[in-house]
Amino acid sequence: MDNKEKHIENGWEPKIVAFVCNWCTYAGADLAGTSRLKYPANMKIIRVMCSGAVDPVFILKAFERGADGVLVSGCHPNDCHYNAGNFHARRRWDLFHALLDFAGIEKERLQFSWISASEGKKFADVVTKITNDIKMIGPFKGYQEMNRQFTTEFPEQEKEKLVQQCTEAEAVNG
């Protein structure tokens, strides 16, 4: 794929964020470490207590902050430490994934998986796969595009006002 070659030639490395649950996938990632499995260094993990606690806003925020891909991973169905959190995550993800697709964001950028505490190998495989997938489709420019439009199309005054509003909002939201 020419796209892919171009990205790799530029020395571009994708940024990937993973939201993983504390009980299964985080422990699975630990196991990948203790088993000394190797996978690309592109993904950084953010630990949450349960995949059910992953708010779609987190995912959007990650994309906004320059992530090229996001992984959400929790316990297998029926194995949730909290009984049902992963079912809520699955429902929410199904909808949100469809929404992203509708908005024209490549499906591969957001992936979901079940990785248990004993599946270190699966964790390594999933990280490798999502990294390769993202390398294939290249950097995520959606937010940058929006920023460019925003800077060129808005009249100067309006822009300043909006920028100020945004910074205020940022200060509140962090």
Partner 1 sequence: MKIGVFICHCGENISRTVDCPRVAETCEKIPGVEFSIDYKYMCSDPGQKLIKDAVEIHKLDAIVVGSCSPNMHERTFRSAAVAAGINPFLVEIANLREHCSWVHEDVESATQKAIELVRMAVEKVKRDKPLSKIKVPVTKRVLVIGGGIAGIQAALDVANAGYDVVLVEKEPSIGGHMSQLSETFPTLDCSQCILTPRMVEVNQHPRIKLLTYSEVEKIEGFIGNFKATIRKKARHINEDICSGCGQCVSKCPIKKKAFSSFEEGLAYRPAVYIPFPQAVPNIPVIDESVCTYYRNGKCGMCVKACDRQAIDFDQKDTMMVADVGAVIVATGYKLYSIGKQPLGSKYKGYGEYGYGKYKDVIDGLQFERIASASGPTSGEIKRPSDGKEPKKIVFIQCVGSRDPAKGISYCSKICCMYTAKQAMLFRHKVHDGEAYVFYMDIRAGGKMYEEFVRRAIEEDHVNYIRGRVSRIYEENGKYIVKGEDTIAGVPVNIDADMVVLASAMIPHDNAPGLAQKVGIPYDKYGFYNESHPKLKPVESTTAGVFLAGACNAPRDIPESVAMASAAASKAIILFSSDSLEREPVVARVNEDLCAGCFYCRKVCPFGAVEVRDIKDMNGVVYKEVAYINQGVCQGCGTCTATCLSKSIELAGFNNEEIFAEIAAL
State which residue, 52 or 138, has the beta carbon closest to partner 1. Answer: 52
**Residues with Cβ within 8 Å of residue 13, at least 6 apart in sequence:** 42
State which residue, 31 or 137, has the beta carbon closest to partner 1. Answer: 31
Q: Give me the phi and psi of 54, to 5 degrees please.
A: -80, 110
Report if residue 105 touches partner 1, rule: CB under 8 A.
no
Residue 85 is given by DSSP the state: H
The answer to whether 55 and 81 have CB atoms below 8 angstroms apart is no
State which residue, 27 or 137, has the beta carbon closest to partner 1. Answer: 27
Least Cα distance to 21 among 69, 96, 85, 68 occurs for: 85
Sites for partner 1 among residues 8-47 (CB under 8 A): 13, 15, 17, 26-27, 29-34, 36-41, 44-47
State which residue, 34 or 157, has the beta carbon closest to partner 1. Answer: 34
Distance CA 15, CA 70 (A): 9
Q: What residue ranges bind partner 1 (CB under 8 A)? A: 13, 15, 17, 26-27, 29-34, 36-41, 44-50, 52-58, 61-62, 65-67, 80-85, 88, 92, 124, 173-174
